[in-house]
Structure 1
Amino acid sequence: MTDLTRRAALTLAAAGSAGAVASLSTTASAAAPAGGPAGGASWTRLPDVPANTTDWHEAIPVGEAYWTQLGLAGPIAGAHGDHLIVAGGANFPEPALTATRANTLGKVYWTDAFVYSRRTRRWHAAGQLPDAVGYAATLSTGDGVLVIGGEGYRGGPGGTLQRPVEKFADVYRLRWDERRARLERAELPPLPRPLSYAVAGIVDGVVYVAEGGDFYGLDLSRPERGWATLPRWPGDPRTVAVGAAQDGRFFLLSGRSQGADKAWTFHRDAYAYSPRRRRWDRIADLPWCVTAGLAHPVGRTGLVVVGGDKDIDRWNLIEHHVALRAAAPPGSAEWQRQNDIVTWIYDHHTGFNGELLRYDTRRDRWSVDGWFPGPPPATTPAVDWDGDLVVASGEVGPGIRTPRVWRAEF
């Protein structure tokens, strides 16, 4: 199919898709497996995120009859007023080609932006971001969706087999101008260093960001002062952690770190930073790892953690065979054998954490509080939409995404 035909097909598909993306709205309780707790959340499935529209490479079947949204890991996701914004993100869009199968582009980072209206219950195309961005920290505020860092490509979509990914220090707000039907971007001071996979929260008007071994703060009432470097938590440096603000504190949970010997450690420790006391305190350990999950404040003293990965044995097995693959000559029989093993483990991945964990900030106690209603997510932001939790897209297995959008009322 030629570019012209593909684009024409995409235009026709978009014209007929408005009703389709508005038609689905189902409700599910946070039902557990037999004998498990029902939980305190009521889940509603919103319409799926629409398909990406940027027809930028022949290896991606944008505009084909079967083309749909595969789902996005690390999308920008946040709420602004009556609108849910989902933009950027990354996936593996080449047919039948995922993380360990030979492909042309590798992991693709996108620029497409979409907006869902709470009033019309429809998604709308919202143009393009200036850069392809994934794995930024995002926060919903009354002034727009705050986007912090991330990684990807300047100027348009790109794939990891085309050129190396660039990390960003950009910080900005995205707002949806309903009258003009466009996204508006307002710049804020950049981070002290480029970073991705960070976690963030706002306490008393100050944004706190943690990643690696660094902890930063930006006073939104005095942004011209820039970011302050703050003392980090007493535990190990980490990435792909979980973070959120609740009860006047910023919480940093779980994550993983790699030692000098290249071995990975998955963390269950958790910490709370009190701006008023200017100190970190270690809180009760999580019952298991929630690496790459998400956290949402509930009420005055609750913190709910959704998704993430706790299967350390599987991760270590994958890393073992990845190391054996790396030690073999590229393209050799041994390289292919190890790659087949990694692919087999990926293909039979059983999913991420299905349990919802709730932390009581006053009692310093963790408990299981129900189950996620669909394939559990990782690497997607927790969207606070007027107190409700929205989980938009995300990763549900290695290289596998979901286009589904869920809203939880607690």
Structure 2
Amino acid sequence: MFLLSKASAQKPIALSWKLEANLPSEDNLHLGLGVAGPVTGYSNNVLIIAGGANFPDSLPWKGGKKKYYNKVYVFKKLTTQLKSIKATIQLPFNIAYPANCSTVKGIVYAGGENESGISSKVVLLNWNESKGQLAISNLPDLPEAITNASSDCIGNIIYVAGGETRLGVSGKLFSLDLNNVEKGWQTLHDLPEPVSHTVLVALNKAGKNMLYIAGGRCKQANGISDIYDQLFIYDVSNNSWTKGKSLPYAICAGTGTAMAGKGIIVFGGDRGEVFHKVEMLNAALQKALSEEEKKRIIEEKNKLLSSHPGFSKEVLFYNFSKDEWSRIGSIPFKTPVTTTAVAGKDIVFIPSGEIRAGVRTPAILSVKLSIKRK
């Protein structure tokens, strides 16, 4: 059943939402828990969802241990539903929170993390439609290990921006030409600010290729993160950054997509109210002098996490011609964050993700975007 966001009914862009399918459990017999930070993208008419991480046994503040995966799920969009296709191959290693990008050559995922720490590995996934098989090949490693970065592509050139490294938050922008991988990754002009958990979207504006980076966050030395409302715009032709109109509020870990010839759309995200309080309590815990004080802080933090309300449901649109943001609707489901929006044919998928602290969703959402004619 499609749901039309009420707010979008008076807006120039209509949003038609649908719950397309759910990820199954590892044994494919039950409804799965879902994962945060999956490898995901579109290759030769199929949606790939793989890897990711969750807490299968217990919530993290109750002692639950994060588990990473390499399982691959394949879905094909039919007229009215997503059909699951059996995958006979797994990712070469467990991975979550990579930067994902769908290209004409396949899905590229770069960096991420697993039980061994942060990764610099880059992998290409390509679905062979005639054979019904997934081909996996390695690409050159990133210049440094990065997790929670963002990615998009222009033609055969992939861009990876920001993320978290072993030393802190990255302000780097890298590119790789899939037609000339022997050259490896190129280091471009630094981002205006180090940032992770951002939305990166590539667009062509008036014949010029541009990258748009919206929101995100940056953990500071004191353990408290700045959450950004900034929009940074990168001009590919002259390797330079400018600043666009700020978002209506600071947001991070959301998803986004391009609307060709119009601008970018940001779906949900974390406005950071609970996140900031938890960081403040973690900082206080480090300074606590007595066991009684530590116990009180831990109890307060656990109560805060247990009552997490979820994430922003608002959908924002940036009109690049007018350099302005507007609210165009809301997500009529629990909002997933720490995942990647995947643009298919006339539809955008938002697969799995985190819906509140420590909790994932198996839901694969879709939204059809259409321009309302006056």
Mark yes or no: TM-score above 0.5.
yes
**Any idea what SS the aligned residue of 2:26 has?**
coil
Aligned partner of 1:231 in structure 2 is 189
**Any idea what SS the aligned residue of 2:301 has?**
helix
- 1:140 and 2:98 correspond: no
Aligned partner of 1:301 in structure 2 is 262
Relative to 1, partners in 2 of residues 1:216 and 1:241: Cα closer, same or farther, differing over 3 Å?
A: same
1:298–1:387 CA contact under 8 A, matched in 2: no
Distance 1:390 1:261 in 2: 37
Cα root mean square deviation, aligned: 2.3
Distance 1:346 1:382 in 2: 26
- 1:90 and 2:90 correspond: no
1:38–1:371 CA contact under 8 A, matched in 2: no
**Any idea what SS the aligned residue of 1:128 has?**
coil
- 1:99 and 2:60 correspond: yes
Distance 1:329 1:115 in 2: 52
- 1:286 and 2:237 correspond: no
- Residue 388 of structure 1 deviates from its aligned partner by 2.0
Aligned partner of 1:197 in structure 2 is 148
- Residue 82 of structure 1 deviates from its aligned partner by 2.0
2:70–2:90 CA contact under 8 A, matched in 1: yes
1:29–1:38 CA contact under 8 A, matched in 2: no
Aligned partner of 2:14 in structure 1 is 40
- Residue 185 of structure 1 deviates from its aligned partner by 0.6
Aligned partner of 2:4 in structure 1 is 29
**Any idea what SS the aligned residue of 1:134 has?**
coil
- Residue 372 of structure 1 deviates from its aligned partner by 1.0
**Counterpart AA for 1:172:** V
**Any idea what SS the aligned residue of 1:408 has?**
strand
Choose the corresponding residue for 2:338, options 379, 383, 386.
Answer: 379
2:44–2:128 CA contact under 8 A, matched in 1: no
Distance 1:125 1:173 in 2: 19
1:244–1:251 CA contact under 8 A, matched in 2: yes
Alignment of 1:1-16 (within 5 A): none
Aligned partner of 2:283 in structure 1 is 323
**Any idea what SS the aligned residue of 1:100 has?**
helix
Distance 1:242 1:398 in 2: 20
Choose the corresponding residue for 1:242, options 196, 199, 216.
Answer: 199
Q: Please list every run of 5 or more consecutive structure 2 residues that lacks an aligned counterpart in the other structure.
A: 163-169, 370-374
Choose the corresponding residue for 2:127, options 160, 171, 176.
Answer: 176
Aligned partner of 1:149 in structure 2 is 111
Percent of residue pairs identical = 29
2:252–2:271 CA contact under 8 A, matched in 1: yes
Query: Which 10-residue stretch deviates more, 180-189 or 264-273?
Result: 180-189
Relative to 1, partners in 2 of residues 1:188 and 1:227: Cα closer, same or farther, differing over 3 Å?
A: same
Aligned partner of 1:363 in structure 2 is 322
- Residue 37 of structure 1 deviates from its aligned partner by 6.0
Relative to 1, partners in 2 of residues 1:304 and 1:402: Cα closer, same or farther, differing over 3 Å?
A: same
Distance 2:156 2:70 in 1: 29
- Residue 112 of structure 1 deviates from its aligned partner by 1.1
Deviations 1:240-295 (A, max 9, x none): 11111112211112111122333321111111111113211111111112201111
**Counterpart AA for 2:66:** K
Q: Please list every run of 5 or more consecutive structure 1 residues that lacks an aligned counterpart in the other structure.
A: 1-25, 54-61, 154-164
Query: Which 10-residue stretch deviates more, 276-285 or 181-190?
Result: 181-190
**Any idea what SS the aligned residue of 2:61 has?**
coil
**Any idea what SS the aligned residue of 1:47 has?**
strand
**Counterpart AA for 1:380:** T
Aligned partner of 2:166 in structure 1 is none
Distance 2:161 2:177 in 1: 15
1:49–1:405 CA contact under 8 A, matched in 2: yes
- Residue 356 of structure 1 deviates from its aligned partner by 0.3
Deviations 1:117-155 (A, max 9, x none): 2248321342422211000111112221111111114xx
Query: Which 10-residue stretch deviates more, 275-284 or 391-400?
Result: 275-284
Choose the corresponding residue for 1:403, options 356, 359, 362.
Answer: 362
**Counterpart AA for 1:406:** L
The number of residues matched between the two structures is: 355
Relative to 1, partners in 2 of residues 1:328 and 1:52: Cα closer, same or farther, differing over 3 Å?
A: farther
Relative to 1, partners in 2 of residues 1:391 and 1:176: Cα closer, same or farther, differing over 3 Å?
A: same
**Any idea what SS the aligned residue of 1:131 has?**
coil
**Counterpart AA for 1:216:** F
- Residue 342 of structure 1 deviates from its aligned partner by 1.3
Q: Provide the TM-score with structure 2 as the length reference.
A: 0.89
Aligned partner of 1:128 in structure 2 is 90
Aligned partner of 1:257 in structure 2 is 218
**Counterpart AA for 1:356:** V
2:201–2:256 CA contact under 8 A, matched in 1: yes
Distance 2:34 2:133 in 1: 23
